[in-house]
Chain A
């Protein structure tokens, strides 16, 4: 008893017009540039999309703020650092355990993730300044826990009243001697989205933490995993696979990470970038300063996972590793294939819309492809043009006032620690064989011609898109979940995964197949109307007559 009306075939251009119709003219003009019909083909240059620009006041956005990107996304999943939010209580409270970053502290390991630390600023602190309180709070945290590091996060009012969190941090670091203290100017009003916060966090981690541990790390094939946050245990599954392949993960930035991981990152020989958006510049900085090359990987989807593992092996070039990786893939794949063969019967031909943070909308496209599902519309919540169009557009991206406020680090090769990982000949041989360093094509080429790509989607457009295109599944975050479901369309969270996960790696792919099968084939979506609503005419007879 499905109530889904028949699909109306919309021309993409008409659809765009329909989405923009209700807006005031100025808003429509701006949004028009952020809504793109994907026309990428082999001979055409894809059109430009406007991204990483301000949200329009009053238009209900999916976005969060710079603080959320800095404290919530990047530093949140580090387990042995005491993260103190300097500000009124709300920001600390909302970023407390809400991203589902799983943690394994080991038997005796440090784990501050279940804690929320805040200076809980009061009006007196806003009037007279909060530096004294911050200093005392850092001292109290130190006395209570003696952690390896304490990080300070600035909230909106801190920036306004001019508290110098960096000066306070320096002072306390010096005072303690055995505890690294540093701060982030990640006030919520900076930048245009949480993306600015990622940048601020990564820069400070690079400045204050990376390279601190000079002691070499054991391992034959040493990598860093950048842009993996261990949501729902993704990082655990990736680590399981890497370990099985005898690849050593020196540092994950930053799922289930530790102080020492960051501090030792310079010992890796390859950086593997998962979420291009949140962290690509760290990969660049690691390469510039220490000579660690980087590649884009994707562990979302079985095929992507296998490809990524093979690429890592290819980079190290050791036939033993290549064999090992192939063996592991061969061992893992049968279970994956068994499930996909079962599930695909029920998922193929169905359509999905993906509107998630940075890179996720792209990564999950691979998983849906494995299910025989088609992404008909997608976009990023806080992506930049390069996340859509590929890294080749980076030099041409205009720097506006909002981006200019975010610090860019100038990195030079380290005099004593820079080490080229390969000879120029080795690099060339790899590249000639089709290996791609510092390369990312972006989302657009992977989407079909005619699919609708939308940057910074808002609630009104989401609702319209669903009404017009009737997808079988919508993927976004918690704020979008229930308005989409009220429309009778299942909605999967791909920020915090609802209660699911892991979805990375082979076991994750299996979890995901089963979850999507459940969602798109659930009976619940057929219960929207009561029998008397389906057939409301009253007849004058009793049924038992």
Chain B
């Protein structure tokens, strides 16, 4: 037993978080910033934060993650981090020559009250920012929200680059939220198939799934350009995928740059993808090509072919709200039961959405926002599930409870593929179901007595 101390009896905890289902804001900001072309993320705080975030992102994406830090020591913590940040900006532009520095704060710099806007202005007035280069900033104190909030804040900072204009360029802004580089690539592929010109931001495809060529480029050839972001105000509309990850940026563009926005769920699974494709079509005034309808039909086909294996299976799922909401809807659509649903990210709306999605189940879902994996494990100990879905940290519960485990979400430290194979869209749905089926059927084979062990399943 790996988690041998987890008792079955659930006692209320008010102050101690055990096995969190979230992490802190800056890592989200760092990931989002990597989706800007030529951008060096910068962590304004002590160097450990930057080190931890780079390590975790590196382990998840298996790619170099470059980011700088203000390297606070006690002096900076007491007297403010302005001198450190200005020195950092100068060093970064001299040594690494990025197009953009995307600064995010940490709990340390937020607590001492450093003002990023003011420091950036000072750096510019002191001539530390070369002509044509950009600095953006996002407040990401770690004691508010979660990594998802940090992602959202940095995406909003990107949106705020959009210039005021009356011009329209006919493009659609798509804010994909915290999905994999492969997912971002898939969203672009779908848009191309429909024939819609889009500005996707952030866009980590090509940055965090870059090829091995014997050459190292600190800034790989991928990401949304600053120019594109500046022109985001000229778009026909914005599609924000995910209330938690993307809505703030889209609403800002709507309110301040008069680009109308629609907030949708992330396109995981059949129904959410349907809504995404249909909305994109409507905004852009395009028609859907046969090939996409075929992809959809293939997903429906797999669901119908394999329904007997999905039907009635109980699932425990933890992760980020936007992903988990769509996944729960997908699970319900194939008659699986999301029995336990946890996110570490705060937000009352989450529990409401999950309850609504699962309202037709024969039993009530146990759902918690601001929850942790310890609680979820206790639930499982009381009544088991057939499948666990979540990030790598779920492997301990899965082994203890001898339950099939689908790695999905962030971070995945011990498996490959997420950076190359999408799980959004119909193709992504096919892949998700294939993985779920593999797990369930492998379990069926493993547990079958000799006489019922069969070739054909």
Contacts and interface: CB of A to CB of B under 8 A. Distances in A.
Given A24-B91, A54-B71, A96-B393, A486 B212 contact: yes
A481 B58 contact: yes
Interface stretch (A110-118, A229-237, A441-449, A503-511): A110-118
Given A96-B393, A115-B19, A117-B18, A125 B143 contact: yes
A461 to B, nearest CB: 10
B415 interface: no
A190 B214 contact: no
Interface size class of B (residues with CB under 8 A): 35 or more
B58 A65 contact: no
B45 A89 contact: no
Contact of A189 (B73, B88, B92): B73
A87 B16 CA distance: 11
Interface stretch (A137-145, A258-266, A272-280, A339-347): A137-145
Interface string A42-77: 000000000000111111111111111000000000
Given A115-B18, A133-B15, A136-B14, A61 B71 contact: yes
A160 B16 CA distance: 21
Nearest to A458: B95
A255 interface: no
B91 A114 contact: no
Nearest to A4: B214
B16 A483 contact: no
A482 B142 contact: no
B4 A111 contact: yes
Contacts of A94: 23, 52-53, 55-56
Interface residues of A, number: 92
Given A57-B88, A58-B92, A405-B74, A156 B23 contact: no
Contacts of A189: 45-46, 72-74, 76-77, 108
B88 A58 contact: yes
A414 B49 CA distance: 40
B91 A58 contact: yes
Given A57-B85, A116-B18, A478 B49 contact: no
A460 B77 contact: no
B49 A65 contact: yes
Given A63-B47, A111-B4, A54 B73 contact: yes
Contact of B47 (A65, A110, A478): A65
Nearest to B101: A58
Contact of A156 (B7, B63, B106, B216): B106
Interface of A: 3, 22-24, 27, 54-68, 84, 87-98, 105, 110-112, 114-123, 125-126, 133-134, 136-137, 139-141, 143-145, 155-157, 159-161, 187-192, 194, 401-402, 405, 459-460, 463, 477-479, 481-488, 527-529
29 contacts: A27-B95, A58-B68, A58-B69, A58-B95, A61-B47, A62-B51, A63-B51, A65-B48, A88-B143, A89-B17, A90-B26, A94-B56, A110-B5, A118-B20, A122-B144, A123-B141, A136-B16, A137-B15, A137-B16, A139-B15, A156-B107, A188-B48, A188-B108, A460-B96, A481-B64, A482-B63, A483-B216, A486-B213, A529-B214
Given A64-B51, A64-B52, A105-B4, 10 more contacts: A57-B91, A59-B91, A97-B393, A140-B15, A157-B108, A160-B108, A479-B65, A483-B64, A486-B212, A528-B212
